[in-house]
Amino acid sequence: MGADTGQLAAADVAIVGGGFAGALLALVLARGGEAVTVVDLHETYPEDFRCEKLSPAQVQGMADLGVLDALASLAPEGEALTSVGLRYEWLVRALRAAWPEAVTFIPARVERLETSEDRQAVVLSDGRQLDARLIVIASGPMSKLAEPLGVQRRTLRKRHSLCVGFSVVSAETPPRPLPALAWHGERPGDGMGFVSLFPMRGAMRANLFAYRDPTSAWARGGLQDPIGALYEAMPGLKRRLGPLTLVSPVETRATDLYQVDGVVQPGVVLIGDAFRSSCPATGMGVSRIVADVTALVGMLPAWLATPGMGAGKIAAYYADPAKREVDHTSDRRSETGRRVALETSLRWRARRGLARLKRDVTALARRA
The mean pLDDT of 28-39, rounded to a whole number, is 96
Statement to judge: residues 163 and 249 lie in one domain: yes
CATH classification of the domain holding 194: 3.30.9
Decide if 334 is inside a domain.
Answer: no
Confidence band of 361 (pLDDT split at 50, 70, 90): low
Q: Does residue 252 register a pLDDT over 90?
A: yes
Maximal CA-CA distance, the chain: 70
| Whole-angstrom Cα Rg for the chain | 22
- Domain that includes residue 195, residue range: 158-254+345-367
Q: Structurally, how many domains does the chain consist of?
A: 2
Residue 164, helix vs strand vs coil? strand
pLDDT digits (tens, 9 = 90+) for 136-192: 999 987 667 888 999 999 999 999 999 999 999 999 999 999 999 999 999 999 999
Would the pLDDT of 6 be above 80?
Answer: no
Write down the mean pLDDT value for the chain.
Answer: 93
Which CATH number fits the domain that encloses residue 147? 3.50.50.60
**Same domain, yes or no, for 120 and 7?**
yes
CA-to-CA distance for 61 and 39, rounded, in angstroms? 25
With the CA atoms of 334, 25, 41 and 136 taken in that order, what torsion angle do they form, in degrees rounded to the nearest 10?
Answer: -80
- DSSP SS3 for 174: coil
Identify whether residues 108 and 145 lie together within a single domain: yes
pTM, whole model, 2 decimals? 0.94
Percent of the chain, pLDDT > 70?
Answer: 95
Indicate whether 172 belongs to any domain. yes
Q: Is residue 32 part of a domain?
A: yes
Same domain? For 21 and 115 the reply is: yes
In a domain? residue 327: no
User: Strand runs (DSSP E) across the chain, as ranges?
Assistant: 2-3, 11-16, 36-40, 103-107, 110-114, 120-124, 129-137, 152-170, 181-184, 192-200, 203-210, 244-246, 251-261, 268-270
Which amino acid would we find at residue 359? R
Residue ending a domain, choose from 319, 335, 354: 319
Rounded average pLDDT over 35-62: 96
Report d(CA 295, CA 143) in Å as an integer. Answer: 23
Instruction: Indicate if 217 and 350 belong to the same structural domain.
Output: yes
Checking if the pLDDT of 5 tops 50, the result is no
In this prediction, residue 353 has a pLDDT band, given cuts at 50, 70 and 90, of confident
CA distance 321 to 327: 10
DSSP letters spanning 55-118: -HHHHHHHHHTT-GGGGGGGSPTT--GGGS---HHHHHHHHHHT--TTEEEEE--EEEEE--SS
| 203 pLDDT higher than 60 | yes
